[in-house]
């Protein structure tokens, strides 16, 4: 073959290769034409086999068998043969071909990726994950996304998002871009979109452990404990000593109420990794929830000792509520905030921590300044759709008329086990839970994510890519479907129940948005509205940095509008379901405990038990920001703490309007 002929063939080969992605049939015809003139041409034969495989042509296998037989020491040909056999479902033959390719060329990354897919199809998850780990090690699949990775590292989420979306328009199957974009959504607390992106990544690459870990973190942020366990156990099968996996497993056990197992893991971690500040932080959280506040302080102090700029450890001290910073602590926090290079996450936590420290010192002007800065930082990353929430409120009121509810009377599950405590955060729900959990017939659990999860499912039922029409899809549920949802709720929450008590508490505050759904699926469940005066409640939300989920709380006007929607919606349910919801006013509870507790127990159908008045003596795990406060006797001094900040609450007052004067302070 002359040099001119060679050049012409090579040009044609390049043209055929370019056709593979856009028109594999044309590529096959062109490759056949080359082979007609140049029989046995290896590259043309390889292209022909690849084109036939893309077309689903069964002749592809014969092509690759012929090539592999003629060149038995070619790892690339064994790889292509394995791919083709796998596509035909000839799994064991494909496994032999791919294994042979690994033997011939162990550093050929694509072989390991194909092996991972094959092992997944065979149900061998450990082999799937091991082989994908080899692919990641050899291919460095993140190298083309270094700019987006750098943006994520310095919390430039918008820049990272733009880069990643541009990449995904080029290749929707880029699993690394999908995972990194999910991380952006995680930071914004858009967990539904994050779960979708990670689900796509794991369908394309079932052995991708980094995506599996991110999905477990996504569930943990939503306190969905049950789905975390299989994900983390699979990760640990691959890497049993991994610190992050073990920490997440401990957190999942804690959410499930398996506190002994959680503490056992945490204790072993601080022994194995005594120089890791994150280990001490999570250990501190476990101690705090268990009521061991002094030990928790020591753990947080140890984390700070290891990394002085660790904002979350400082905020964790502030979040104990009963803890008071020293003058030296305050000076150090100011020094850290003065550092321009302080990371966004650390700065955010320091602002809230210093706000609390200065409030305790009665430096209210400077305290408010730091609360405001912290909220502004968070608001920039976590947007809240104020108008969208008001539309949701209006849709809910329009759907749940008396006629609509009466038509579905007693359609749900008849169990009376759940006691729902709902309302605004920081309104006394943890106190009410602690009082009820002190009763012999009631088990306290935590803020359960199941009802909001049902709402999301229903909202996505009609058009997953369109704005939600929830709660409208509830109107199309049959009586049987309503009962099934109630039964499913009981089944999903059962793993978190650890006593024989006939009743348990679900204190997810945002369930007020779903009070109608709760009534339909569990008509005998008790519903308690924890209500606190508007300015006290709203400002308490503003000065509390919630780690996730409470999107409305980072702007005073947003908080005011959210409170108005809450009051409006609960007034609607009072109208269409009179007496169905029992309201507990925080101020009445603090000033007239026994009377309010007796009313509360009567509503729940429970006999009076005096230990409910000594709720602070009840030993149990408490997961909320009030975990230390509910372990102390009641005090009335906190009722009007907001007044210290009244000069800066003008915009909040304007939004709340008449609700401030109309609030029934001491009305039963």
pLDDT of residue 478: 97
pLDDT per position as a tens digit, 54-91: 776 666 666 666 666 666 777 877 888 788 888 878 88
Other CB atoms within a 10 A radius of the CB of residue 155 amount to 16
In a domain? residue 233: no
Task: Out of 139, 161, 183, pick the residue that ends a domain.
Answer: 139
Per-residue pLDDT for 562 more than 80? yes
In a domain? residue 230: no
Chain position carrying tokens 């009410």: 432
Nearest CA to 604 among 495, 527, 519? Answer: 527
Per-residue pLDDT for 625 more than 80? no
Per-residue pLDDT for 24 more than 50? yes
As a whole number of Å, the CA-based R_g of the chain is 30
pLDDT per position as a tens digit, 445-482: 888 889 998 998 898 655 555 677 899 999 999 999 99
In a domain? residue 450: yes
First to last CA, the chain: 101
Q: Which of 6-15, 70-79, 431-440, 647-656 has the lowest mean pLDDT?
A: 6-15
Edge-first strand listing for the sheet containing 503-506: 442-446, 503-506, 418-423, 526-531, 581-585
Q: Which of 163-177, 290-304, 453-467, 647-661 has the lowest mean pLDDT?
A: 453-467
pTM above 0.75, yes or no: yes
In a domain? residue 175: no
Per-residue pLDDT for 112 more than 90? yes
Between residues 5 and 434, which one has the greater pLDDT?
434
Per-residue pLDDT for 35 more than 70? no
pLDDT of residue 221: 87
Cα separation of 568 and 564, whole Å? Answer: 6
Nearest CA to 510 among 570, 434, 576, 594? Answer: 570
Nearest CA to 510 among 568, 550, 548, 540? Answer: 550
pLDDT of residue 321: 80
Per-residue pLDDT for 258 more than 90? no
Contact 198, 214 (CB under 8 A): yes
CA dihedral 354, 357, 362, 363 (to 10 degrees): -20
Q: What is the CATH number of the domain that holds 426?
A: 3.40.50.300
Task: Out of 86, 115, 139, pick the residue that ends a domain.
Answer: 139
pLDDT of residue 2: 47
Contact 510, 570 (CB under 8 A): no
Cα separation of 139 and 551, whole Å? Answer: 39
Per-residue pLDDT for 299 more than 50? yes
**Residue 97's pLDDT band (cuts 50, 70, 90):** confident
Chain position carrying tokens 């940095």: 545
Cα separation of 571 and 565, whole Å? Answer: 10
Q: Which of 136-150, 392-406, 497-511 has the lowest mean pLDDT?
A: 136-150
- The total number of structural domains in the chain stands at 2
Three-state DSSP at 221 gives helix
Between residues 381 and 543, which one has the greater pLDDT?
543
In a domain? residue 288: no
Ramachandran angles phi, psi of 156, nearest 5° = -95, 75
pLDDT of residue 631: 47
In a domain? residue 157: no
- Beta-carbon contacts of residue 273 (< 8 Å; ≥ 6 apart): 243, 279
Q: What is the CATH number of the domain that holds 47?
A: 1.25.40.10
pLDDT of residue 323: 92
Nearest CA to 268 among 291, 250, 290, 287? Answer: 250
**Distance from CA of residue 369 to its chain's centroid?**
30
Task: Out of 139, 173, 208, pick the residue that ends a domain.
Answer: 139
Range of the structural domain that residue 527 is part of: 414-662
Mean pLDDT, residues 319-338 taken together: 95
Mean pLDDT, residues 539-565 taken together: 93
pLDDT of residue 531: 97
pLDDT per position as a tens digit, 354-392: 999 999 999 999 999 999 999 999 998 888 899 999 999
In a domain? residue 208: no
pLDDT per position as a tens digit, 573-618: 999 999 999 999 999 999 999 999 999 999 999 999 999 999 888 7
Other CB atoms within a 10 A radius of the CB of residue 288 amount to 23
pLDDT of residue 40: 61
In a domain? residue 23: yes
């Amino acid at each position: 073959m002359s040099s001119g002929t060679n050049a012409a063939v090579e040009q044609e080969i390049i043209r055929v290769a370019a056709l593979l992605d856009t028109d594999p049939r044309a590529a096959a015809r062109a490759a056949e034409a080359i082979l007609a003139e140049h029989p046995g041409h290896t590259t043309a034969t390889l292209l022909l086999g690849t084109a036939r495989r893309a077309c689903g042509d069964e002749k592809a296998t014969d092509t690759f068998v012929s090539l592999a037989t003629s060149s038995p020491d070619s790892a690339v040909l064994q790889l292509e043969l394995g791919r083709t056999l796998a596509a035909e479902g000839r799994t064991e033959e494909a496994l032999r071909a791919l294994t042979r390719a690994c033997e011939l060329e162990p550093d050929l990354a694509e072989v390991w990726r194909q092996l991972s897919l094959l092992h997944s199809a065979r149900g061998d998850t450990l082999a799937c994950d091991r082989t994908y780990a080899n692919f990641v090690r050899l291919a460095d699949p993140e190298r083309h996304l270094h700019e987006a990775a750098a943006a994520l590292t310095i919390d430039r989420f918008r820049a990272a998002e733009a880069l990643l979306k541009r990449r995904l328009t080029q290749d929707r199957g880029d699993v690394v871009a999908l995972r990194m974009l999910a991380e952006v959504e995680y930071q914004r607390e858009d967990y539904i979109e994050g779960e979708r992106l990670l689900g796509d990544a794991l369908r394309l690459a079932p052995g991708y452990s980094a995506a599996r870990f991110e999905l477990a973190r996504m569930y943990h942020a939503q306190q969905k404990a049950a789905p975390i366990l299989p994900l983390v156990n699979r990760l640990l099968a691959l890497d049993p000593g991994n610190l992050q996996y073990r920490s997440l497993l401990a957190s999942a056990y804690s959410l499930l109420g398996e506190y002994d197992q959680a503490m056992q893991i945490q204790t072993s971690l601080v022994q194995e990794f005594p120089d890791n500040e994150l280990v001490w932080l999570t250990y501190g959280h476990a101690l705090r929830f268990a009521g061991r506040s002094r030990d928790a302080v020591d753990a947080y102090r140890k984390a700070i000792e290891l990394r002085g700029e660790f904002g979350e450890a400082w905020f964790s001290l502030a979040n104990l509520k009963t803890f008071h910073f020293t003058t030296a602590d305050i000076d150090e926090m100011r020094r850290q905030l003065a550092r321009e290079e302080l990371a966004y996450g650390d700065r955010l936590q320091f602002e809230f921590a210093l706000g609390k420290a200065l409030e305790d010192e009665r430096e209210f002007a400077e305290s408010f300044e730091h609360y405001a800065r912290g909220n502004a930082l968070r608001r920039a990353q976590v947007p809240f759709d104020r108008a969208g929430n008001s539309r949701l409120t209006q849709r809910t009121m329009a759907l749940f008329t008396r006629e609509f509810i009466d038509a579905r009377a007693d359609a749900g599950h008849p169990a009376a086990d759940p006691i729902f405590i709902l309302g605004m955060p920081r309104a006394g729900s943890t106190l009410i839970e602690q009082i009820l959990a002190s009763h012999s017939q009631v088990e306290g659990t935590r803020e359960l994510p199941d009802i909001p999860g049902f709402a999301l499912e229903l909202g996505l039922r009609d058009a997953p890519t369109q704005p939600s029409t929830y709660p409208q899809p509830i109107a199309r549920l049959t009586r049987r479907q309503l009962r099934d949802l109630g039964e499913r709720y009981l089944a999903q929450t059962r793993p978190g129940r650890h006593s024989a008590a006939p009743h348990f508490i679900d204190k997810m505050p945002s369930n007020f948005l779903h009070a109608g759904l709760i009534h339909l699926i569990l008509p005998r469940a008790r519903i308690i509205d924890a209500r606190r005066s508007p300015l006290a409640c709203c400002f308490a939300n503003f000065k509390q940095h919630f780690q996730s989920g409470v999107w409305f709380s980072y702007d005073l006007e947003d908080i005011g509008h959210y409170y108005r929607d809450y009051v409006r919606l609960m007034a609607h349910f009072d109208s269409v379901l009179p007496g169905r919801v029992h309201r507990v006013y925080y101020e009445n509870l603090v000033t007239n405990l026994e009377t309010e507790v007796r009313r509360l127990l009567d509503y729940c159908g429970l006999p009076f038990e005096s230990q409910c008045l000594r709720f602070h003596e009840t030993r149990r795990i408490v997961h909320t920001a009030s975990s230390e406060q509910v372990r102390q006797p009641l005090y009335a001094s906190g009722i009007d703490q907001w007044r210290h900040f009244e000069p800066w609450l003008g915009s909040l007052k304007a939004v709340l309007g008449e609700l401030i004067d109309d609030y029934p302070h001491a009305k039963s």
